[in-house]
Amino acid sequence: MTNDFKRLAFVGTPELSVPFMTSLNASGYEIGVVITGEDRRRGRGEEPSPSPVKRAAIEMGLPVIHEIEEIENFEIDLAVVVAYGSFIPIDLLERVPMINVHFSLLPRWRGPAPIERAILAGDTKSGVCVMKVGEEFDVGDVFTRQEVEISPRDTTETLRNRLVQAGCELLVSTLDDGLSEPEPQVGEIVWAEKVTPQEREIDWGLEAEKIDRLVRVGGAWTTFRGERFKIWKTESTTREIQGRPGQLFGDEVASGKGSLRLIEVQSQNRARQAFDSWKLGARLEENCVFGDD
């Protein structure tokens, strides 16, 4: 792979890809073309709208295409891929050199949800890898990597923000230094499948610490009075409550081990609010239980 990168292609789609594109541009790299997902409806009844990457590229005056095969119509030396979200044809990889930025310490957490899975697993560190784009997802050899600590209160959003910042710096420094020979991934391969709505349902029989991790991933839910009830912010404790799992005592819920203090919640068809505010209007009865349908 050549180190003479005069013109780059940028390949990405969601909001988290945008800082990488702007960082490359600000660092003096010429972006000859941007490849991103098709315009689509972002909400019910809305007209199709451009992806965050397309919107930013247009503001920067960069040419945008949607079919990645058309990349060969542009004179580029290297394509940089960040969360593109679509399959890249294998035969194209043989003709166009491509590198990818992935948000984990590979080979742990290959796949589409490495940040969420790292939090769910209770990992104490994550990271960013700059790697070759391989014939399968996240299997390519790695040029550079940077570790990022996961704090005990990190959410998907806070950890993602730090990984994006670290990733932008790593990507630019990797290109500035020139791509050396990449190294094969070494270690246990762990796949990071997307977290489904079913997985986000709280099992109050689990220990409070594990439930808190699910809440920090985002979208955790249970039921209350037969309706879906989301829990957005909690704090786990080791205090044991004499009650059945899911039973509410003040601002704490009993679990399989320890208890969970509720801080921010959301009733069905309502906005997020502080638990204390929700409790005032909820007219709670004694011994009410979450998840008891």
pLDDT band at 289 (very low <50, low <70, confident <90, very high): very high
Residue 293 is predicted with a pLDDT of 65
**What is the C-alpha to C-alpha distance for residues 102 and 154, in angstroms, rounded to an integer?**
19
Written as six digits, the tokens of 231 are 């829990």
Residue 233 is predicted with a pLDDT of 98
In order of their start, the domains of the chain are 7-191 (3.40.50.170), 208-282 (3.10.25.10)
Q: Average pLDDT, stretch 32-45? A: 85
For the stretch 223-268, pLDDT in tens is 999 999 999 999 999 999 988 999 999 999 999 999 999 999 999 9
pLDDT band at 42 (very low <50, low <70, confident <90, very high): low
Residue 12 is predicted with a pLDDT of 97
Q: How many Cβ atoms are within 10 Å of 197's Cβ, its own excluded?
A: 9
**What is the C-alpha to C-alpha distance for residues 42 and 24, in angstroms, rounded to an integer?**
27
For the stretch 1-23, pLDDT in tens is 556 778 999 999 999 999 999 99
The residue that leads in pLDDT, 136 or 175, is: 175
Average pLDDT in the chain: 94
Residue 77 is predicted with a pLDDT of 95
Helix ranges (DSSP H) in the chain: 18-26, 52-59, 90-93, 114-120, 156-177, 208-217, 275-282
